[in-house]
Amino acid sequence: MKEKFLNWIFKFILGILFILPYYSYSQDKNDSLGKALIYFEEKGVVIYLDAQKILPSKTPRQLKAGNHMVQVWAPKRKLTIDTLKITTNKLSLYAKRLNYSDEYLQYREQLGQYRVNKEFLRMPYHIGLLTIAVGAAWFLENRKLMNDNYLQANEQKNLYENTVTFVPSELDEYKLNYDNFKSKYEKYRAINNTLAVTSSVLIPATIAWAVISEKIIRKKFVKPVYEEKPLLTNIKVNYDVSICRGVLNAGISLKCNF
What average pLDDT does range 170-194 have in this prediction? 91
Strands (E) in the chain, as ranges, are 33-38, 46-49, 52-54, 61-64, 66-73, 80-86, 91-94
pTM over 0.75: no
The amino acid occupying position 246 is G
Q: Look at residue 197 and tell me whether its pLDDT is greater than 90.
A: yes
Contacts of 247 (CB under 8 A, 6+ apart): 69, 81, 83
Assign 140 a pLDDT band (cuts: 50, 70, 90).
very high
Per residue in 210-248, pLDDT tens?
999 989 888 888 899 998 888 876 444 332 333 333 333
Res 56: pLDDT: 86
Res 230: pLDDT: 84
Q: Look at residue 174 and tell me whether its pLDDT is greater than 50.
A: yes
What average pLDDT does range 1-29 have in this prediction? 52
Supply the DSSP symbol for 244: G
Please state, in angstroms and rounded to a whole number, the distance separating the CA atoms of residues 121 and 217. Answer: 8
